[in-house]
Homo-oligomer: A and B are copies of this chain.
Amino acid sequence: MGKQTIYFRNKPQIISVSTVAGTKECEGIIGRYVENALSDDMYGESTYEKAECKMLRSVIDGAIANAELKRSDIDAIVSGDLLNQIISASFAARDLAVPFLGVYGACSTMAESLAVAAAFVDGGFCNRVVAATGSHFASAERQYRYPLELGTTRPPQSQWTVTGAGAALVADAATAKKDVKDDGIAITCATLGKVVDFGITDVNNMGAAMAPAAADTILTHFRNTGESPEDYDLIVTGDLGALGSRILKDLTWEKGLDVAANHVDCGEIIYNVIEDEFQGGSGAGCSAVVLNSYLHAKLMAGAFHKILFAATGALLSTVTSGQGESIPCIAHAVVLER
């Protein structure tokens, strides 16, 4: 109990998922597993922000529909996104009429929302909770960096914000048995992250900023559980990218933990030709899409039995960067077993 790692004894389960992703995201291998591949990144909407909100709403509704349930069967939605005041999540929740807990963990939101959903289900407070997040390349660029119309060049350390969203419906074991007549993917444990800041101030180098947070949570997780990386089929990070992943492996190796053999980063695998996107994908939608499409399918098919899903988030804003602050980061990890 406590001390960062918490255990879910009653087997809260992911009983259904749903994903949507943009044109660029669906060109790669991950794209084949995405439920709804967009042919238009605007998703028929008039603004980037409305497109992002529509993606999030569609995956929440998708996860509910995939379990053959109705919105009124859901006890709560735990969701957030990258936009100021998490407007995508709030406006999606407005249309759904389901109790809503807004969370903010930047790109760690998929892991944070899963941990909170699992706690509310495992604690006996709710039967069915949807955890969801997403991001949109264009809305993120406009808010955090430069409007796309400026045609700003990107430095080599930069990453590409994923246009996509993912949702997971978490239910208690008895409800799962009733709803889907099958075992889902159990969320057995979570290690809640601390905010870690190694003094990186380069807002185009998120991988380097976030790697120490990922290392801190992963090291804590293995110390607390007494497990080793070999106990997992995969140790998945969210969006460290190529450079950040190398830093993570170095940082953990220095502390005596070798994750190199089975580490994979969602940002590194989501795009087909990674050179075009520099260090790879990022954004709350990155790990949300990979988890709820590819990883979910592989877990359900028995290709993986147990994974550690550790999504990372950079907790900066344009104001903090403008005021000369470095970038505090966080990583939350959840254990998924089938």
The residues of A with any CB-CB pair to B shorter than 8 Å are 1-4, 6-7, 47, 49-50, 75-76, 80, 83-87, 90-91, 93-94, 96-106, 112, 115-116, 119-120, 122-128, 143, 192-197, 315-320, 323, 325, 328, 330
A-B residue pairs in contact (CB < 8 Å), sample of 14: A1-B124, A2-B75, A6-B126, A84-B84, A87-B315, A91-B325, A97-B195, A98-B194, A100-B193, A100-B330, A102-B105, A104-B104, A116-B116, A119-B125
Most chain-B CB neighbours within 10 Å: which of A84, A85, A112? A85
Partner of A75, one of B3, B87, B105: B3
From B85, B100, B102, give the contact of A317 (CB < 8 A).
Answer: B85
CB-CB under 8 A from A47, the residues of chain B are 323
Contact in complex: B99, A1 (CB < 8 Å)? no
Complex CA gap A116/B118 in Å reads: 12
**A84 contacts across to B, CB distance below 8 A:** 84-85, 317-319
Residue of B whose beta carbon sits closest to that of A49: B319
Q: Cβ of A193: which chain B residues have Cβ within 8 Å of it? A: 99-100
Query: Which chain B positions have C-beta within 8 A of A330?
Result: 90, 100, 102
Please determine whether B315 and A192 come into contact, CB atoms closer than 8 angstroms.
no
Q: Is the CB of B192 within 8 A of A99?
A: yes
Looking at A83, A316, A319, A325, the one whose CB has the most chain B CB atoms below 10 A away is: A319
